[in-house]
Amino acid sequence: MPEPILRIDGLKKFFHVRRGFPNPKTVTVRALDEISFEVQRGRTFGLVGESGCGKSTAGRSLLRLVEPDAGAVQFDGENVLRADAEAMRALRRRMQIIFQDPYSSLNPRKRIGAALSEPLLVHRLAGRREAYERVVALLNEVGLPADAANRFPHEFSGGQRQRIGIARALTLSPDLIVADEPVSALDVSIQAQILLLLRRLQESYNLSFVFISHDLGVVRYFCQDMAVMYLGRIVESGSIPGIFEDPLHPYTKTLRDASPVPDPTARKGFGRIEGEVPSAVNPPSGCHFHPRCPHATEVCKTTYPAWHQVDDRRGVACHLYGT
């Protein structure tokens, strides 16, 4: 198998936060608890899970927008977590992010042309004239007219703003993009347009993606490989066809059965995950999924299951396998 463009190994991030009223105490949120995965060059790797499972922290940690506590991030052979400031600047050119809400990351007082040309000027990759021409070309590439450069963020719809977010991520010609819920705030018809755009750009530029989403249907459409996260850990990973045909982990099964399918009568009656997601401050003992799992046994309540590698790509953490 070719070398992956991104290799994550044992990535860990705990947040220590003050909670409680009137006597706040410091508690530990186990956002990422030693996750590992690989992204192949030119492919899209989906990170899926319910809200609060740690998938966004994973995306930000591998770019060091959040500093991980432990683990390793290898990007194209370079150790990202050991990179000094100068090396990190060079790496950031090649690793970009698209946010769920691009509006919050755009300066409302800055015209789009100025916002998009800024990285080119900061990295001294172009003069003003050249940067402006590149911005206009990028706007066209993402389906916006050249005069969008002269407008302010509030003058665009949600879908148009996401196109601007994509253009900005492309400004420095990256190799890898972390897309953090890039379509979840959009109407379904706009979602489809943005996903088609991302797919076209991926083919044109041989981009690799880490695609973060709570929506298994979107991940199925857009990704080739995926990992399912639950309370800060990966519980199953593999290729999209393999996981959708034959999900191994009970949590993956319920997520799959709950996701929309073209045939509304298919898998009817399945797919409800009973109970709330437990807190990442105080996760259940043993397998964190055991309070919601229909297959839980006594060992599940006391012992976290070891990772069972099924083949090159496929792995699962569940006592039903490899014991």
* Cα 158 to Cα 63, 97, 141, 163, 287, distances in angstroms: 25, 17, 18, 9, 39
The yes or no reply on residue 320 touching ligand SF4 (CB under 6 A) is yes
Q: What is the DSSP string of 88-118?
A: HHHHHHHEEEE-S-GGGGS-TTS-HHHHHHH
Our CB check for ligand SF4 shows the closer of 116 and 287 to be: 287
CB of 317 to ligand SF4, least distance (A): 7
Neighbour count for residue 182 (Cβ, 10 Å):
29
The yes or no reply on residue 300 touching ligand SF4 (CB under 6 A) is yes
Which of 58, 287, 307, 315: binder of ligand SF4 (CB under 6 A)? 287
Our CB check for ligand SF4 shows the closer of 158 and 278 to be: 278
The yes or no reply on residue 295 touching ligand SF4 (CB under 6 A) is yes
Which of 37, 120, 293, 315: binder of ligand SF4 (CB under 6 A)? 293
For residue 22, say if its preceding peptide bond is cis, omega within 30 degrees of 0. Answer: yes
Q: What's the CA gap between 214 and 42, in Å, rounded?
A: 22
The yes or no reply on residue 318 touching ligand SF4 (CB under 6 A) is yes
CB of 53 to ligand SF4, least distance (A): 14
Our CB check for ligand SF4 shows the closer of 168 and 253 to be: 253
DSSP H or E segment with residue 197: helix 188-205
The yes or no reply on residue 256 touching ligand SF4 (CB under 6 A) is no
CB of 319 to ligand SF4, least distance (A): 4
DSSP H or E segment with residue 10: strand 6-19
CB of 54 to ligand SF4, least distance (A): 17
Query: What is the longest distance spanned by two Cα atoms in the chain?
Result: 68
**Quick check: 47 and 227 in contact, CB under 8 A?**
yes
CB of 298 to ligand SF4, least distance (A): 10
Cβ-in-10-Å burial (0-12, 13-18, 19+) of 12 comes to middle
Our CB check for ligand SF4 shows the closer of 192 and 296 to be: 296
| Interface with ligand SF4: number of residues (CB under 6 A) | 13
Our CB check for ligand SF4 shows the closer of 172 and 320 to be: 320
Q: Which residues bind ligand SF4 (CB under 6 A)?
A: 249-250, 287, 289-290, 293, 295-296, 300, 305, 318-320
